[in-house]
Structure 1
Amino acid sequence: MPRTKGDHEARRRDVSEAVWHVMAARGFTGLTLRAVAAQLDATTGLLTHYFPTKRALVEYALNLLERRTLTRTRRDSGEGTAALRDALLDMLPLTAETTDINRIWVSSWDAALSDPDLSSDYARKYAASRDRLSERVAADQALGVLPPGDPAKVAAGLQAFVLGLVVQALFAPAAFPPQRQVQLVDDHLATLTGGRTGGHR
């Protein structure tokens, strides 16, 4: 019996879940056709239908990671610094899900740095993240809860702060448990606002 489109889409979903489980368990460096095949209880020959090369698997995995990152449930506390705080907390490994996502992102940096095309794509992703933060910063400046200045510069500093905190929390989770990560974000925002109020929690 010929396979239907529904069968094909179901198999793609199965493959996606297998790729995700491998990345979450082994990090990006552990992502291989053999590992994905074992997760699926299938042969590597079956997977070559979807991924004829390791590069194709890597590209697919990164697209899957980006989709998972962008579509997961996020905090929504309204406007003011509460909204900016939400955006920062959403980047941190505060739950099992966000820990997995961050582990995979960080473990993928090596592959991205060694591939010019992937490096350009990552630069685009981080620039887009800065742009979103910059919009929130500008909104807070308009409300008077952040001092005036270049929103893009503030956003770059916030992104650098959060990415640094992500790395520390992944490598030293006992030293940087979720509650400490949240407190560090709150302390950083308090420094930026300089005692201004308006919309923060």
Structure 2
Amino acid sequence: MAPPAPGDHEARRKDVSEAVWRVLAAKGFGGLTLRAVAAEMGASTGMLTHYFPSKRALVTHALDLLEQDTAGRPRRTPPADGLPTVRAMLLDILPLTPADTARNRIWVSSWDLSLADETLTAQQGDRYARLRDTFRPHLETARGLGEIPSNADTGQLASAAVAFVHGLVVQALFDPGRFPEDVQIAMLDDFVARLAGPGTDTAPGSSRDT
């Protein structure tokens, strides 16, 4: 049998990626298998082995899709540079909408698989490093504007910001009744105010854009 034309191959790969995403959205990483993706497509698992010769290949592709979806999600426009931008970036991560809640649930469902595989663990570590790096320049701007102490370690603050927001994500996912939208935002504003430290005037509530 002749191999598919390049255009057909790319179209088929797009169909496969869309099926992987639908399985993720419905079942998370715990339900992500070649059999589940094949059933979603109405295809054979044999066909899928051309794209994913192993479970790791399937999971890696799914993580890439999730990262692309996360990068392409709608984002708030920060009202000002410095801490207001940090605040907006943190708000964009929290599960404040159904779409953001679904995305965070998928991310959390990926942790078990990633922790069980050294390669996937390293890849997730790189993702977290990139996330921390996105905060650091805005914290440096905040330091230059006098919004945080002049001796603040922006690398450490970036790590603290990521640790705080993902800890809050997990609590909100497992106990949404205790952590509704207004509570999440209030906790975030308190965190941003604490970043400023004593003797600074940031008033995070004045730039609120929920």
Structure 1 length as normaliser, TM-score?
A: 0.91
The residue aligned with 2:72 is 71
Quote the offset at 1:69 in angstroms: 1.4
Percent of residue pairs identical: 52
Q: 1:190 aligns with which of 177, 181, 193?
A: 193
- Which consecutive aligned stretches of 4+ in structure 1 deviate over 6 angstroms post-superposition? none
The residue aligned with 1:105 is 107
Secondary structure at the counterpart of residue 90 of structure 1: helix
Q: Which structure 2 segments of 5+ residues have no match? A: none
Q: 1:2 to 1:114 in 2, by over 3 A?
A: closer
Deviations 1:36-94 (A, max 9, x none): 11111222122122112212111111111111112222222141321111111111112
Q: Distance between the aligned counterparts of 2:177 and 2:103, measured in 1?
A: 18
The residue aligned with 1:157 is 160
Aligned pairs, number? 201
Q: Are 1:80 and 1:198, in contact at CA under 8 Å, matched by a contact in 2?
A: no
Q: 1:30 to 1:192 in 2, by over 3 A?
A: same
Q: Cα RMSD (Å) of the superposition?
A: 1.9
Matches within 5 A, 1:127-146: 127-146=129-148
Greater relative CO (CA pairs within 8 A, separation 6+): 1
Secondary structure at the counterpart of residue 184 of structure 1: helix
1:174 maps to 2:177: yes
Q: Distance between the aligned counterparts of 2:89 and 2:49, measured in 1?
A: 38
Q: Distance between the aligned counterparts of 2:36 and 2:141, measured in 1?
A: 46
Q: Distance between the aligned counterparts of 1:95 and 1:14, measured in 2?
A: 27
Q: Distance between the aligned counterparts of 1:175 and 1:18, measured in 2?
A: 34
Q: Which structure 1 segments of 5+ residues have no match? A: none
Quote the offset at 1:2 in angstroms: 7.1
Q: 1:126 aligns with which of 119, 125, 128?
A: 128
Quote the offset at 1:5 in angstroms: 2.5
Q: Which amino acid counterpart does residue 30 of structure 2 have in structure 1?
A: T
Q: Which amino acid counterpart does residue 133 of structure 2 have in structure 1?
A: D
Q: Distance between the aligned counterparts of 2:41 and 2:85, measured in 1?
A: 40
Q: Distance between the aligned counterparts of 1:157 and 1:142, measured in 2?
A: 19
Structure 2 length as normaliser, TM-score?
A: 0.88
Quote the offset at 1:198 in angstroms: 7.9
Q: Distance between the aligned counterparts of 1:114 and 1:13, measured in 2?
A: 28
